Amino acid sequence: MKSKLLLVFLFSLSIHCFAQDWPQFLGPTRDSKSPQKGLLKEWPAEGPQILWTDSVGIGYGGPVVQKGKVYLLDRNDETGDIMRCFDLSNGEELWRYEYSAPGSVMFPGSRSVPAVDGNFVYSCGFYGDLYCFNTKTHKPVWNNNIWKDFGGEKIPTWAITQCPLIYGNLVIVASQAPEAGVVAYNKKTGEVEWKTPSLGLTGYASPAIVKIDGKDNVVMITASSRNGDEMGNVVGLNPKSGEQLWKYNNWKCRNPIPSAVDAGDNKILIAGGYELGATLIQIVKAEDGSYTTKELFVTEEFGNQLTAPLLIDGYFYTQYATNRRRDGMVCMNMDGEILWRTKKDPDFNKGSMIYADGHILATDGVQSLYLIKPDPSEYKPISSAQILAPEGTKVEGAALQVGGSTQNWAPIALADGKLIIRDQNRIMCVKVAE
């Protein structure tokens, strides 16, 4: 009996440890939510303890964490992409693998977040190089190019920004090349299992998983044309076959970056930047079993230029800052009504957010880390500290003029009570829970 109880305990412990990982873009459930408990609610004046830091290249690609190891796709524009692995406990770099992919665009540097699954880590680089690395040997198992392999020539204006989605035995990414919209690869071999035709104009959003009538749908977002003659599409796909299940074709955003948000009850929130706002759509099942879409509302008062909004207890929270708009953190209900916005007091400018233990951990995109109690009635900050944006910056040229000197815009990761943040100079590990 004691041995059985011990096995149950060890099994539950292993589940708990696994649940504390941050294995992919936007976390274990790809919605910026963590099962982490025991967040520190009061921070000292100097802020929560910084456990370690290391230098990184410029860019916007965030980290993932599995079993005590941090993975980051770093980049040197003069040479190429760099897969790096750090020890979560002390920041020691355990290994790295570099491959040639030189080049640059405005707002240069890294772009995407890897995905780690078992003994393999998957990443998609600046030019569309999709790699599978063995985390034991530190070598590539296979690699493809999601852009060139499907007719892509000149890369998009802001390069390739795909964050791989692991689904069963598949690695799913949006090629958005002329000959393929979304592509699913066998995660062990790199062989193409299915692909869709082009779904629309090229954007920068990564695929999301949304439940429709209890079944998983891969949801992909495409861009609208600059002059508005061609609208963007929001498409639902069968994740096992790539079959198109439904399509909404009235999304207006020429540079879509945030992934779709599962709003529950067959509803999906699509958010964008550039003052173009957000749309809530409903997926409706017809009598013949097919699906159509219904537009519930469109608003310019809620959006996000870089990351998907958080849905907490039926309310949406976002950082709405664009090239011309500074609404700060914003809360919106399911009917599209704006309940509050912080504007510049405090200012939130393209930072990242995670919901854990009943609170929001948020970087403000510039220099501060916040702990916030989500409340639809008002903005409720609990703690804050200016621990980001060290002196000196690698941002220069037009990117400096448009985006400022710090640009702490990368997605953050939370694992084992530690928050992993990268900016334009360094990756840092901050203790935020007991």
Q: In the predicted model, what is the mean pLDDT of the chain? A: 93
- Which residue pairs, CB below 8 angstroms and at least 24 apart, start in 245-249? 245/212, 245/217, 245/291, 246/212, 246/283, 246/290, 246/291, 246/292, 246/293, 247/293, 248/281, 248/293, 248/295
The one-letter code for the residue type at 337 is: E
| Domain assignment present for 31 | yes
Per-residue pLDDT, averaged over 271-295, amounts to 95
| Domain assignment present for 424 | yes
| Domain assignment present for 28 | yes
Residue 402 reports pLDDT greater than 80: no
Per-residue pLDDT, averaged over 282-297, amounts to 97
Cβ 86 vs Cβ 427: under 8 Å = yes
| Domain assignment present for 253 | yes
**CATH number where 91 lies:** 2.140.10.10
| Domain assignment present for 11 | no
Angstrom distances, CA of residue 142 to CA of 84, 244, 426:
17, 28, 29
Supply the pTM of this predicted model: 0.94
Per-residue model confidence as pLDDT tens digits over 141-154: 999 999 999 999 99
Predicted pLDDT of residue 389: 74
Per-residue model confidence as pLDDT tens digits over 356-400: 999 999 999 999 999 999 999 999 999 999 998 765 567 787 788
Per-residue model confidence as pLDDT tens digits over 103-142: 999 899 999 999 999 999 999 999 999 999 999 999 999 9
Question: How many C-beta atoms lie closer than 10 Å to residue 205's C-beta?
Answer: 27
| Domain assignment present for 3 | no
Predicted pLDDT of residue 390: 65
Which residues are within 8 A (CB) of 119 and not within 5 positions of it... i.e. 6 or more apart?
A: 134, 135, 136
Cβ 383 vs Cβ 41: under 8 Å = yes
Residue 70 reports pLDDT greater than 60: yes
| Domain assignment present for 345 | yes
Cβ 267 vs Cβ 282: under 8 Å = yes
**What gap in Å lies between CA 258 and CA 409, rounded to an integer?**
13
Domain limits for position 132: 20-431
**What gap in Å lies between CA 101 and CA 129, rounded to an integer?**
8
Predicted pLDDT of residue 394: 75
**What gap in Å lies between CA 18 and CA 315, rounded to an integer?**
28
**What gap in Å lies between CA 112 and CA 337, rounded to an integer?**
32
Per-residue model confidence as pLDDT tens digits over 5-48: 444 434 343 444 444 899 999 999 999 999 999 999 999 989 99
Predicted pLDDT of residue 236: 98
φ/ψ of residue 202, rounded to 5: -70, 130
Per-residue model confidence as pLDDT tens digits over 234-258: 999 999 999 999 999 999 999 999 9
Comparing 9-13, 71-75, 211-215, 338-342, which segment has the lowest mean pLDDT? 9-13
Looking at the structure of the chain, the number of domains it has is 1
Question: How many C-beta atoms lie closer than 10 Å to residue 370's C-beta?
Answer: 21
| Domain assignment present for 359 | yes
Per-residue pLDDT, averaged over 150-175, amounts to 97
Per-residue pLDDT, averaged over 257-280, amounts to 95
Residue 354 reports pLDDT greater than 70: yes
**What gap in Å lies between CA 230 and CA 373, rounded to an integer?**
40
Antiparallel, parallel or unpaired: β 33-34 and 353-356: parallel
Predicted pLDDT of residue 392: 57
Q: % helix / strand / coil in the chain, to the nearest 5? A: 5, 45, 50
Residue 193 reports pLDDT greater than 50: yes
Residue 4 reports pLDDT greater than 60: no
